[in-house]
Amino acid sequence: MSKALFLALSLIASPAWADWQLNMNEGVTALSREIFDLHMLIFWICVAIGVVVFGVMFYSIFKHRKSKGAVAEHWHENTTVEVIWTVVPFVILIGMAVPATATLIDMYDTSEADVDIQITGYQWKWRYQYLDEDIDFFSNLSTPREEIVNASAKNANYLLEVDNPLVIPANKKVRFLITANDVIHSWWVPHFAVKKDAIPGFINESWVNVEEPGVYRGQCTELCGKDHGFMPVVVEVKSEADYAKWVADQKAMKLAMAGEASKEFSMDDLIAKGEGVYNTACAGCHQLNGQGIPGAFPAISGSTIATGAIDAHIDIIVNGKAGTAMQAFKEQLSAVDIAAVVTYQRNALGNSVGDMVQPSAIQK
């Protein structure tokens, strides 16, 4: 009945999008390959033990059954055999422990890194700060809300794409300093075999040396609230030359953005830009249509704040509201973005206040 319905729905609804991946990825670092090899070693040892043990068991199930006329023998002890099957597993374990310890020691490498990046977990996004450059940005899920609520088809990188990926150079030791802003998160990139908990108030470190440029995707791996499944990790590994160029571009962009903050924008431009900001940074709680979730997240449509005094509206976005889930966005959004999203909220989502705010009016 309902099972058949589900099966039917799956046949109708799902295109052939998925893999049937059975195993861990080998990854793109020397360490990830070491870990993969260790994983396979242990796995095959377990398979071998399983084959022997279950083999004996299934043999017995077939041969020693009453219906085949088997008569029970009457022994129930054998010290020699018991000693053997205590010692042999112990020896196998030592055989496993040696490579495992070696790999673990390799993971705890503390040699100096070429690049140090502070990674801070927030509900529900990551912040990347390059310690030796003046680069600081947030990385949000960029999958459109419509795809999540099944209003449009899902793209290939569904839930594993962000607006601003972390960018690191290949073939350099990159060190990550991992912490959190609110609750415990965990930063994981399977292809790097790097996973480390982000603990509020404490700093953890990890490192990677990626051999191949490319884009690598991971996710938050510690339950951190509502959108734990919606804060992916995307790392773009660039060649040394491309990375240097990217760093220079970031600095230029920052100068440009500072310049933008003193420009005057038209209402239409603000609203258009604001819609993008809203969908990335606000729709997760306040919903795409601005209706919020009654009892949990207030609506923007018709709200006192979004239709009332503009200063209060700006303030709640810049500084958040203490004691609630409404975060302070002053670090996460530029003055241009804040001006845009305020203008959008006041002139869309069912509101039509008619006013707008310029970036220069945003005090952070």
Partner 1 sequence: MQESVKTKRLVVRLATAAVLMFGFGFALVPLYEVFCDITGLNGKNFTQGPAAITAVDRSRTVKVQFVTVNPAEMPWEFKPTERTMRVFPGEDKVTAFYAKNPTPEWMVAQAVPSVTPSEAAQYLHKVNCFCFDRQPLDAGADTEMPLVFVVDPELPKHITTITLSYALYDLTETDNQQVTLRSQDNDKGRASL
Partner 2 sequence: MATVDVDLPHVKDEDPHHHGPAKGVGRWLFTTNHKDIGSMYLIFSLCMFMIGGIMALIIRAELFQPGLQLVEPNFFNQMTTMHGLIMVFGAVMPAFVGLANWMIPMQIGAPDMALPRMNNWSFWILPFAFLILLSSLFMPGGAPNFGWTFYAPLSTTYAPESVTFFIFGVHIMGASSIMGAINIIATILNMRAPGMTLMKMPLFVWTWLITAFLLIAVMPVLAGVVTMMLMDIHFGTSFFNAAGGGDPVLFQHVFWFFGHPEVYIMILPAFGIVSEIIPTFARKRLFGYSSMVYAVASIALLSFVVWAHHMFTVGMPLVGEVFFMFATMLIAVPTGVKVFNWIATMFRGSMTFETPMLFAIAFVVLFTIGGFSGLMLAIAPADFQYHDTYFVVAHFHYVLVPGAIFSIMAATYYWLPKWTGHQLNETMGKFHFWLSFVGVNVTFFPMHFVGLAGMPRRIPDYALQFADFNSMASVGAFIFGFSQLVFIYNIIQNVRVGEKATAQVWEGANGLEWTIPSPAPYHTFSTPPKVD
Contacts of partner 1 in 191-210 (CB under 8 A):
200-205
For residues 323-342, which are near partner 1 according to CB under 8 A?
A: 327-328, 330-331
The Cα–Cα gap between 31 and 103 comes to 8
The Cα–Cα gap between 96 and 229 comes to 34
* Position 2 contacts partner 2 (CB under 8 A): yes
Determine how many CB atoms are found less than 10 A away from the CB of residue 287. 18
The Cα–Cα gap between 13 and 180 comes to 38
The only residue of 25, 118, 142, 307 in contact with partner 1, by rule CB under 8 A: 118
* Position 338 contacts partner 2 (CB under 8 A): no
For residues 50-69, which are near partner 2 according to CB under 8 A?
A: 50, 53-54, 56-57, 60-61, 64-67
The answer to whether 184 and 219 have CB atoms below 8 angstroms apart is no
DSSP 246: H
Nearest distance in Å: CB 182, partner 1: 4
The only residue of 33, 100, 299, 350 in contact with partner 2, by rule CB under 8 A: 100
Name 335's Cβ contacts closer than 8 Å, sequence gap at least 6. 261, 359, 360, 362, 364
Both tokens of 14, joined, read: 């799902």
The answer to whether 188 and 218 have CB atoms below 8 angstroms apart is yes
Stretch that binds partner 2, among 224-232, 266-274, 309-317, 337-345 (CB under 8 A): 224-232
The answer to whether 213 and 188 have CB atoms below 8 angstroms apart is no
Task: Please say which residue, 177 or 257, places its beta carbon nearer to partner 2.
Answer: 177
The only residue of 8, 98, 131, 223 in contact with partner 2, by rule CB under 8 A: 223
- In one letter, which amino acid is 238? K
* Position 19 contacts partner 2 (CB under 8 A): yes
330 binds, among partner 2, partner 1, none (CB under 5 to 8 A by kind): partner 1
The Cα–Cα gap between 342 and 364 comes to 14
* Position 256 contacts partner 2 (CB under 8 A): no
For residues 152-191, which are near partner 2 according to CB under 8 A?
A: 154, 156-160, 182-184, 186, 188, 190
Stretch that binds partner 2, among 71-79, 132-140, 249-257, 345-353 (CB under 8 A): 71-79
The answer to whether 187 and 199 have CB atoms below 8 angstroms apart is no
Binding site for partner 1 (CB under 8 A): 108, 110-113, 116, 118, 120, 122-123, 131-132, 175, 177, 179, 181-182, 200-205, 319-320, 322, 327-328, 330-331, 364
